[in-house]
Amino acid sequence: MRLAVIEPLPLGGLLHYATQLADALAARGNDVDLIVARENELAGRSGPATRRELLPPDAAPAPPDASRAQVALRRARTAARLLTTWERIIRAVRSGGYDAVLLNGSLDMVLNAGAGLALTHLKGRVPLAHVCHNARLLNRWGGEEMFVTSGPTVALMRRAYPRFDLVFVHGERSRREYEATWPPTRLAIVPHGDEGLFADQPPPPAAEPRILFFGAWRKMKGLPVLLEAFDELAARRPEVRLTLAGPPVPEEGESEHVLAWAAERTERVEARPGYVPVEDVEALFARARVVVLPYLAGYQSGVLHLAMTMGRAVVATDVGDLPDAIADGETGYVIPSGEATVLADALERVVTDPALAARLGAAARARVETSAGWPEVAERVEAELHALVKETS
């Protein structure tokens, strides 16, 4: 088949996912265009899929001490970039001569949701699939709510989703919640895939009892629970260390508290606020004995699959489809969300036992290679797209 895989974001987990999926589909003999932004963080890497850097680069970030005017200007530039991005996506879909198009990325902001709806109207006859990484709309702003249940973005997504010819989700729980939230849509379940682009082989087991939290500092990630759990753990195991690495998200209200907490514990806690470049990720995971995902909400996680690819034990909460990716007690531990003492106990069990951590990590690596590797993901995606093309031709 002649296929296109499209990812608008120039960096981050969604770009990594789209790139690896496109290459895996191309490795199966398909003619695949990977349509991405110019100056994206993987621009220097080649693969079986044809790279087409058609989309505009990201707008320059506002400085940390930005004024309101500078923040407003950044937002205006971002909006302009998004409009240009989607205009080019629509043009590429209509003129590319593809048998099917797979749109990755997120529709969880009003401009993207509206553009996604426009794409379903303007795509022509080509079958259009979408990878839905989160079955419900996560709240990206302040407040205690984890999900957005009303408003213009939700209204646009309710109109857009049924117009896709096929939507991929990452597990049975995602499928059930999608069906309970959105209008009827043709759905297919596929695994997430590994994160082999970060390292061919996992680094050796860590030498120190270090816990790693990796990813954006969003409220759905459960950082306050982790901070409470670490204080409890450090009181009885003062040798334990914690690294918090990832970009703060000021709009959600977690960042200031996390930074202030870490500043009071510099002997035990390393805070690395900011996006971690691809070339620095392996060294960061190499120092960690266990990776923690204390999520309060979510569906699937590239961080989880990255940890498993790196041969690291994981402690994660029972949200979304995370439990299905972890063999509890074999590759890591699955615990209830929101319970700091239970989290502290699970982390203590792994981080203070290097032999256990190494055994769990090795099993995690084997599991992601055999059950969620990209050859298997691509085979299942290809089969679903082939059936769709056959039905619509």
Render 200-252 in DSSP notation, one character per residue: SSPPPPPSS-EEEEES-B-GGGTHHHHHHHHHHHHHH-TT-EEEEEE-B-GGG
Distances (CA, A) of 142 to 138, 146, 147, 220, 297: 11, 10, 11, 11, 15
**Positive or negative: CA dihedral 140, 143, 149, 154:** negative
pLDDT of residue 336: 97
Would you give the DSSP letter of residue 56?
P
Judge whether 385 and 129 are in contact, CB under 8 Å.
yes
Judge whether 286 and 245 are in contact, CB under 8 Å.
no
Judge whether 360 and 349 are in contact, CB under 8 Å.
no
Three-state DSSP at 184 gives coil
Cα gap 105→20, rounded to integer Å: 14
Cα gap 309→312, rounded to integer Å: 8
Residue 12 structure tokens: 């981050």
**Burial call 316-355: b when 16+ CB within 10 Å, e when fewer:** bbebbbbbbbbeeeebbbbbebebbebbbbbbbbbbbbee
Three-state DSSP at 339 gives coil
How many angstroms separate the first and last alpha carbons of the chain?
Answer: 12
Nearest to 354 by CA among 234, 238, 195, 204: 204
pLDDT of residue 66: 62
The amino acid at residue 219 is K
Q: Kindly give the confidence (pLDDT) of every residue in the chain, 393 residues in length, as a single tens digit, with 9 standing for 90 and above.
A: 999 999 999 999 999 999 999 999 999 999 999 999 999 999 989 999 999 999 998 766 655 556 777 767 877 888 888 899 999 999 999 999 999 999 998 898 899 999 999 999 999 999 999 999 999 999 988 888 999 999 999 999 999 999 999 999 999 999 999 999 999 999 999 999 889 889 889 999 999 999 999 999 999 999 999 999 999 999 999 999 999 999 998 888 888 999 999 999 999 999 999 999 999 999 999 999 999 999 999 988 899 999 999 999 999 999 999 999 999 999 999 999 999 999 999 999 999 999 999 999 999 999 998 888 899 999 999 999 999 999 987
Nearest to 292 by CA among 251, 254, 260, 246: 246
Cα gap 317→332, rounded to integer Å: 11
Beta bridge partners of 271: 244
pTM: 0.93
Q: Which long-range contacts (CB under 8 A, 24 or more apart) does 53-56 make?
A: 54/88, 54/92, 55/8, 55/10, 55/84, 55/85, 55/88, 55/89, 56/81, 56/84, 56/85, 56/88
Three-state DSSP at 16 gives helix
Residue 383 structure tokens: 């089969």
Listed in sequence order, the residues at least 6 apart from 341 whose beta carbon sits closer than 8 Å to its beta carbon are 229, 232
Nearest to 110 by CA among 82, 85, 71: 82
- Angle at CA 52, nearest 5°, toward 51 and 54? 150
Cα gap 75→83, rounded to integer Å: 12
Residue 84 structure tokens: 């240009």
Cα gap 156→109, rounded to integer Å: 10
In the chain, which residue ranges form alpha helices assigned H by DSSP?
13-27, 68-95, 110-122, 152-160, 172-181, 223-236, 255-263, 278-286, 302-309, 322-325, 340-351, 354-371, 374-392
* All domains in the chain, ordered by first residue: 2-191+373-392 (3.40.50.2000), 196-371 (3.40.50.2000)
Cα gap 315→353, rounded to integer Å: 14
pLDDT of residue 59: 64
